[in-house]
C-alpha cells in the first residue's frame, strides 16, 4: 500500500484538492491517504473543508496577522518536516503556485518523497506577474517528479523546460471536478450567509460580480478599478455590482472609501464556496483577477473579464470565454458596456467551450498513480 499526503493551505487550493482527496479515498486498499493543511488562509480554508466534509490529519495552523512571505515560507519549511518524518509518504501532492505548495514541495524533496504537482505547467514567463506565484510554480516545476497539467498548452510549457514527456499527464483542471460536484449541492445549500446575500440582491437587476486580490494590483490598480465601477454604476442604474472585498487592508481600504456609499454597489466579505457558486450562477458578468474564477465561470456560461495584463491561463482567452482588461479604467468600462449593450456579443462569449476539462481530472490523476507512476 502506497502512502499519499495531500498538502494545501489556501481556499483556492482546498477547492481544487478536495475532489482529489475524495477520489483517493475510493481506493483504500491501494492508498493510505492523509491531508495536511498549513492554514495559510484559516477561516476561508475551514469553510471549504466543512462543505466537502474533509478532516485534516495534520493542521499546522500557520496563519498569523501581518505575516510576510519570509516568515510564512520558513515556518512551512520547518513544520512540514515533522509531518514527513511521522507519516513517511511515498507521494506528496501540492497544487498550483502558492507559498504552501512551493515550500511543501521543497520540504518533501529534502525528505526524499516523490512530489506530484497538480495544475502543473502554467506560465506567464514574467517573474513579477503574478507575484510571487510565477516563481513559486517554476520552482515546483523543477522539484516535481510527476506533473499533472490541466491543458495541452501547460504540457507544452513543461516540455519547453525539458521536463520528460513520460512524467507529464494532461488531466484537465480539478476545479471543474469541484464545480460539477458542488453546483447541484449549492442550489439546495442553506445558511445564514446565503439568506443574507439573497436579501441584499435587488430583483430584476443584472449582477456584475467582482473579486480582486492580486498583489500586483495594489495601489493605483485598485483605484482605477474602483473608478471604473463608479462610472458603470452611475451609467447603468439597472445593474447591481456585488464586490467580494478581500480582507487585505491594501484592498479593503480604498474599496470602502471609494465605493461604500453608492446605492447599486454592494460590498460584502468573501463568501463560502457554496454561496460563491450560487452567486456566480446568478451573475451576468464576472470581473476578476482570480485564476480559479477564470476556469470555473465559463462552465456556468458566464463571460469573464480579467483585471490583469497577462494570464497563465491563455486557453480561455484563445477560446473567447475570457478577456484581459488589466486595471485600465477605460478598458474595464468599455468591455462591461459592450457586454451589457450588445446581446449578440454577450451570447457569443457565454456559449463558448470551456477548455479546462470535463470534470474527470481527479480520476485521471489517481489512475496515473495506480497504473503508471
Within the chain, where are the H helices? Answer: 11-25, 43-52, 69-87, 99-111, 133-143, 152-160, 174-187, 192-200, 220-235, 249-259, 273-282, 291-296, 314-319, 329-341, 343-350, 361-371
DSSP state of 275: H
Q: What is the pLDDT of residue 134?
A: 96
296 has catalytic annotation? no
Q: Which of 11, 147, 214, 215 is catalytic?
A: 215
Calculate Rg over the CA atoms of the chain: 20
pTM of the full predicted structure? 0.86
| Contact in structure between 80 and 36 (CB atoms under 8 Å) | yes
DSSP state of 322: E
Q: Where in the chain is the domain with CATH 3.40.50.2000?
A: 2-173+357-371, 191-350
Q: Which fold has domain 2-173+357-371?
A: Rossmann fold (3.40.50)
94 three-class SS? strand
289 has catalytic annotation? no
214 three-class SS? coil
Q: Which of 119, 177, 296, 335 is catalytic?
A: 119
Q: What is the pLDDT of residue 250?
A: 66
* pLDDT tens digits in sequence order for the chain, 373 residues long: 999 999 999 999 999 999 999 999 999 999 999 999 999 878 778 889 998 999 999 999 998 888 899 999 999 999 999 999 999 999 999 999 999 999 999 999 999 999 999 999 999 999 998 899 999 999 999 999 999 999 999 999 999 999 999 999 999 999 999 999 888 777 778 889 999 999 999 888 999 999 976 555 565 777 898 899 999 999 999 999 999 987 767 667 778 888 889 999 999 998 988 999 999 999 999 999 888 888 889 888 999 999 988 888 899 899 899 999 998 999 999 999 999 999 999 999 998 678 888 999 999 999 999 998 7
Q: What is the pLDDT of residue 212?
A: 79
246 has catalytic annotation? yes
Q: Which of 13, 23, 79, 133 is catalytic?
A: 133
184 has catalytic annotation? no
- The H-or-E segment that residue 95 falls in is strand 91-95
41 has catalytic annotation? no
Q: Which of 13, 79, 97, 315 is catalytic?
A: 97
Q: Which of 11, 41, 137, 246 is catalytic?
A: 246
CATH number of 191-350, picked from 3.30.2140.20, 3.30.420.40, 3.40.190.10, 3.40.50.2000: 3.40.50.2000
Give the separation between CA 344 and CA 64, rounded to whole angstroms.
Answer: 48
pLDDT tens per residue across span 256-283: 888 889 999 999 998 988 999 999 999 9
Q: Which of 117, 155, 213, 313 is catalytic?
A: 213
Amino acid at each position: 500500500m502506497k502512502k499519499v499526503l495531500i498538502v494545501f493551505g489556501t481556499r483556492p487550493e482546498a477547492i481544487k484538492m478536495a475532489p482529489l482527496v475524495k477520489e483517493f479515498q475510493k481506493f483504500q486498499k491501494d492508498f493510505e491517504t492523509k491531508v495536511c493543511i498549513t492554514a495559510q488562509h484559516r477561516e476561508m480554508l475551514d469553510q471549504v473543508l466543512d462543505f466537502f466534509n474533509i478532516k485534516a490529519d495534520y493542521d499546522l495552523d500557520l496563519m498569523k496577522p501581518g505575516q510576510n512571505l519570509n516568515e510564512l515560507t520558513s515556518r512551512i519549511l520547518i513544520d512540514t518536516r515533522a509531518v514527513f518524518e511521522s507519516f513517511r509518504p511515498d507521494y506528496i501532492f501540492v497544487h498550483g503556485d502558492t507559498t504552501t505548495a512551493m515550500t511543501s514541495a521543497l520540504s518533501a524533496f529534502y525528505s526524499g518523497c516523490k512530489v506530484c504537482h497538480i495544475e502543473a505547467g502554467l506560465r506567464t514567463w514574467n517573474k513579477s506577474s503574478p507575484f510571487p506565484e510565477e516563481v513559486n510554480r517554476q520552482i515546483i516545476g523543477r522539484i516535481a517528479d510527476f506533473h499533472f497539467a490541466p491543458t495541452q498548452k501547460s504540457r507544452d510549457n513543461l516540455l519547453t523546460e525539458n521536463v520528460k514527456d513520460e512524467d507529464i499527464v494532461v488531466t484537465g483542471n480539478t476545479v471543474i471536478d469541484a464545480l460539477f460536484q458542488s453546483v447541484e449541492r449549492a442550489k439546495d445549500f442553506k445558511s445564514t450567509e446565503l439568506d443574507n446575500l439573497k436579501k441584499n440582491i435587488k430583483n430584476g437587476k443584472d449582477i456584475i460580480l467582482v473579486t480582486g486580490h492580486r498583489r500586483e494590483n495594489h495601489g493605483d490598480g485598485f483605484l482605477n478599478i474602483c473608478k471604473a465601477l463608479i462610472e458603470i454604476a452611475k451609467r447603468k442604474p439597472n445593474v447591481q455590482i456585488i464586490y467580494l472585498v478581500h480582507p487585505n487592508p491594501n484592498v479593503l481600504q480604498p474599496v470602502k472609501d471609494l465605493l461604500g456609499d453608492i446605492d447599486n454597489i454592494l460590498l460584502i466579505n468573501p463568501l463560502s464556496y457554496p454561496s460563491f457558486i450560487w452567486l456566480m450562477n446568478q451573475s451576468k458578468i464576472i470581473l476578476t483577477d482570480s485564476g480559479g474564477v477564470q476556469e470555473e465561470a465559463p462552465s456556468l456560461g458566464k463571460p469573464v473579464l480579467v483585471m490583469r495584463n497577462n494570464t497563465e491561463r491563455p486557453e480561455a482567452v484563445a477560446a473567447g470565454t475570457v478577456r484581459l482588461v488589466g486595471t485600465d479604467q477605460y478598458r474595464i468600462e468599455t468591455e462591461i458596456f459592450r457586454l451589457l449593450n450588445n446581446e449578440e456579443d454577450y451570447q457569443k462569449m457565454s456559449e463558448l467551450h470551456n477548455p479546462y476539462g470535463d470534470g474527470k481530472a481527479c480520476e485521471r490523476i489517481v489512475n496515473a498513480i495506480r497504473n503508471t507512476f
